[in-house]
Structure 1
Amino acid sequence: MTRSCGRLRRGAVIAAAVGTLVVPLGGGTALGTSESVPALAGQPSPSPSPSDDFRRLTPEVKRQVDRAVEQVRREANVPGVTVGIWTPDKGSHVRSFGVADKETGRRMTPGLYMRIGSETKTFTVTALLKLVDEGKIGLDDTIGEYVDGVPNGDEITLRQLAGMRSGLFNYSEDQDFFKALTSDPERSFTPQELLDYAFKHPVMFQPGEEFYYSNTNLILLGLVVEQVGGQPVQDYIRENILEPAGMDRTIFPTDAAFPAPHAQGYTNQTADGKVADSTAWNPSWGWAAGAMISTLEDLRTWAPTVATGVLPDGDILISPVTQRQRLDTRSTTIPGAGYGLGIFNVQGWIGHNGSLPGYESLTVYLPSARATLVVVLNTDIGQGDTEPSTLFGDAITKIVSPQHVFNLPAQPAAR
């Protein structure tokens, strides 16, 4: 329910529904509560429901999906997109559409590396939860116990940071940050520089009072993981999450390096609003909130892993007790969507989306059908205020899971 690292729109973050670095403000009603998904907590494979939660992926259903994806791609002017759908008993479908490079006409293919923006949050929060399981940290510890200089730091808990209820201003909405990034998008930002942009603003509300998607929260949690885990956050995530999950094509970069082959990315999040190739932009400004890179196949692995807390080999990644707390989704400003600890539930689909200039992604899991949906694309230019990844998610789930439609509404610009 957020956008990866927040959508830049002349300094403002668009409150995108789900999984990018932005999220809506205000009150709302959430469908996804912990009571709605109790079987996820530490159980490897919830049994599929005998209902029509998910349609069998017959040749005709696959054709319907392809037509819907291509229609969205053309109407939203998306250069290229890859879609993957997997179930244990109703089939699978993987297909790419359009181009990875508008200049050369190189086709989009399933094996490309892609920037995944705010999906990074799911890895950072998972790292935090592993430290909780190890008894090294408590979710109700205050951030002031670990990081100095945080407004309300003696009141804001780690749980509130992970659940987007801290009240801290989102640094990616700061006008000075926007100018700094767009004037030199290949520059490197430090975590402290990002926090400085946020902390010059007053707090939005008292801790726990509201839901407000803020990338600032994840920068702070990244610093906590480093301090308590005793190593750089990228190394902790690689050794404790990616390697155990077998995700060897997922990377937390420390610079602008982008493994090949990858798609070129296209954005209008620029100083003049013109479309630009953002492939070489340095993702350091997203850091623990949105810097990571992955592939369709690795995200296929991650969807059920993050939703259940169980690794592909059946080992426990996050304990059932801690996983239940992660999945305790609370109300947001998006109708039909709840947000837990770095994860959302939209009409039963559990996961996150991501958006970084030039790239978007959506990685979600439907436990009742044990179904995984992953969408990756090479633009963040939406239709109105609707993320293109949301458009694809909506169109696909209307076909394959009509009782569980990923139907996030367009959101107004964040305050």
Structure 2
Amino acid sequence: MRPTRIRMRRACVAAAAAGLLVTPALAGSAYGATVRVPSASAAPSPSGDTEFPQLTPAVAARLDAAIRQVMDLTKVPGVTVGLWAPGKGSYVKSFGVADKATGAPMTPDLGVRIGSETKTFTVTALLQLVDQGKLALDDPIGNYITGVPNGDRITLRELAGMRSGLYNYSEDPGFDAKITSVFTPQQLLDISFKHPVNFEPGAKFEYSNTNLILLGLLVEKITGRPLHEVIAQDVVGPAGLSERTVLARGTDFPEPHANGYTNDLPGGKIVDATHLDPSWAWAAGAMASDLQDLRSWAKTLATGTLLTPATQAERLKTQPIGIIPGDGYGLGIFNVQGWLGHNGSLPGYETLTVYLPEEQATMVVLLTTDDLYKGQEPSTLFGEAVTGIVTPGHLYPGHKPVETK
């Protein structure tokens, strides 16, 4: 069922680990004059950003070629890539189109839906309540919300760390036919809870959007405020982000934004999914943002600016997910070869936002499609192409690239 993939059913690391990877060294040579070269719009370093002059022309040219090669392979309509690495420089560039109907170019100022990156905001709101003494990570969810299977034994830590065993509602066999419907959080839980649990709490890792719906409801119950207000007032505002980073309600999100395209809706044809209501994703994936806000958020998330050091340390205690040796998932965050962050995917959009503490580097990738390329998430291919050139010692997602033909 293709639509279940877009509902963030797989772990970001699992998605990154599987499938074909692109060889940056081949970019510009393997395809030669036959490569389709999308239009590109370069953005200068942000005003006053003297810390990050642009990369050298030679390195930027290599990145241009690698990104164009991935774009040619994946047929992504539009992509924006941002990279900021102290001592190396910055790279901010958009390729392709933001609107296939008008041909309007993709530009770095356009917002997108960020899918599962929403989880990083929801879990941050939860952890702030832990810091305030209103919750404890090892509290059972059943202490706060009734009717949860194994709720007397599933802890908040296990929900945030994807180890609850609860069935992922977006895997339900009938869910794909309802993707254009409007859901309440309780309706999503009802879909999950009609299925038996998959395993005992804490037994293993399994990505489940159900976990985040429960945490969103918990945040609302403890704060007495709607989740969109909590995220705006307690997370987005204190993090210094703009009003363009928002938990979307209804079909619209802040302008200007790029249009998103998918072939994962019922019918299997490529359609414009820009104004699809994301209520089915809610606390697990309904947010929107833009390049500069995500650039800032990457470091805030990885360094724990909004949390106490002790709580941030708990967040970063990753457990293996059985895909890439040494990598793992913490509390709403992954660690892939030293890159800390999350990715997101939902109809029409994919994003990747990560921070590398060892080099204080940030990478953000924004795409206007979630369509797979040979079973592989396109955001992973772009991330691998960029890191293979700029941070080869920390290759995202950690595989040796496979040559493409």
- Please state which band the TM-score falls in when normalised by the shorter chain: 0.7 to 0.9
Q: Which residue of 2 aligns with 1:227?
A: 221
Q: Does residue 1:9 correspond to 2:7, yes or no?
A: no
* Separation of aligned partners in 2, 1:321 and 1:215: 26
Number of the residue aligned with 2:288: 293
Query: By how many angstroms is 1:330 displaced?
Result: 0.4
Residue matched to 2:163: 165
The alpha carbon displacement at 1:14 in A equals 7.3
Please state how far the C-alpha of 1:176 moved relative to its aligned partner: 1.8
Deviation at 1:169, TM superposition (A): 0.6
| TM-score, normalised with respect to structure 2 | 0.86
| TM value normalised by structure 1 | 0.84
- The share of aligned pairs that are identical, in percent, is 59
Q: Bigger CA drift: 243-252 or 149-158?
A: 243-252
Secondary structure at 2:247 match in 1: coil
Match for residue 156 of structure 1?
Answer: 154
Partner of 2:204: 210
For 2:46, the equivalent position in structure 1 comes to: none
**1:195 aligns to what?**
189
Q: CA deviation at 1:23?
A: 9.0
Q: CA 1:15 to 1:399, structure 2 compared with 1: closer, same or farther past 3 Å?
A: farther
Spell out the pairing of 1:371-410 with structure 2 (5 A cutoff). Answer: 371-407=361-397
- AA matched with 1:364: V
Q: CA deviation at 1:257?
A: 1.4
> Could you tell me which residue of structure 2 aligns to residue 33 of structure 1?
none
Q: How far 1:291 sits from its partner (Å)?
A: 0.1
1:95-139 CA distances to partner (integer Å, 9 max, x unpaired)?
A: 000000111111000000100000000000000000000000000
* 8 Å Cα contact 1:382/1:388 also seen in 2: yes
SS in 2 for 1:195: helix
**Helix, strand or coil at the partner of 1:245:** coil
CA offset digits 1:188-238 (Å, max 9, x no partner): 210001111111111010000010000000000000100112211111111
Question: What one-letter code is carried by the residue in structure 2 that aligns with 1:74?
Answer: D
SS in 2 for 1:116: strand
**Stretches of 4+ aligned residues off by more than 4 angstroms:** 12-17, 22-25
Q: Deviations over 1:78-106 (max 9, x none)?
A: 00000001123321110000000111111
State the distance in 1 between where 2:107 and 2:393 align: 30
C-alpha distance in structure 2 between counterparts of 1:141 and 1:23, whole Å: 32
Which of residues 262, 272, 280 is equivalent to 1:267? 262
2:309 to 317, 320, 323: 320
Q: Contact 1:170–1:216 at 8 Å: present in 2 too? A: yes
Paired AA for residue 375 in structure 2: D
Q: Which residue of 2 aligns with 1:38?
A: none
CA-CA distance at 1:275 after TM superposition = 1.2
**1:63 Cα deviation from its structure 2 partner:** 1.1
Paired residue type of 2:311: T
8 Å Cα contact 2:17-2:397 kept in structure 1: no
Q: 1:14 to 1:260 in 2, by over 3 A?
A: closer
- In 1, distance between residues paired with 2:65 and 2:320? 34
Q: Which has the higher contact order (CA 8 A, sep 6+)?
A: 1
Counterpart Cα distance in 1 of 2:324 and 2:154: 26
Q: Which residue is equivalent to 2:347?
A: 357
Mapped to 1, the partners of 2:98 and 2:163 lie a distance apart of: 37
Q: Secondary structure at the match of 2:249?
A: coil
Task: Supply the distance in 1 between the matched residues of 2:292 and 2:16 (Cα, whole angstroms).
Answer: 26
Q: Given that residues 16 and 380 in structure 2 are in contact (C-alpha distance below 8 angstroms), is that contact kept between their aligned partners in structure 1?
A: no
SS in 2 for 1:403: helix
Residue 131 (structure 1) aligned with residue 120 (structure 2): no
Shift of 1:334: 1.8
Q: For residue 56 of structure 2, what is the aligned residue in structure 1? A: 58
1:345 aligned residue = 335
Tell me which residue corresponds to 1:92. 90
* Cα contact 1:266–1:358 (8 A) shared by 2: yes
Q: 1:105 to 1:382 in 2, by over 3 A?
A: same
Q: Does 1:305 find its partner at 2:300?
A: yes
Mapped partners of 2:219, 2:151: distance in 1: 17
Is the contact made by 2:122 and 2:283 (CA closer than 8 Å) also made in structure 1?
yes
Within 1, Cα distance between the matches of 2:286 and 2:255? 17
> Does the 8 Å contact 1:267/1:381 carry over to 2?
yes
Q: 1:324 to 1:169 in 2, by over 3 A?
A: same
Give CA deviations for 1:347-401 in whole Å, capped at 9, x if unaligned: 0100000001100000000001100000001000011221110010011111111
Residue of structure 1 equivalent to 2:234: 240
Alpha-carbon spacing, 1:400–1:251, altered in 2? closer, same or farther (3 Å): same
CA 1:82–1:10 in 2, change beyond 3 Å: closer, same or farther?
A: closer
Cα RMSD over matched residues?
Answer: 1.8
| 8 Å Cα contact 2:98-2:258 kept in structure 1 | yes
Q: Within 1, Cα distance between the matches of 2:258 and 2:104? A: 9
Alignment partner, residue 329 of structure 1: 318
Counterpart mapping for 1:73-84 below 5 A: 73-84=71-82
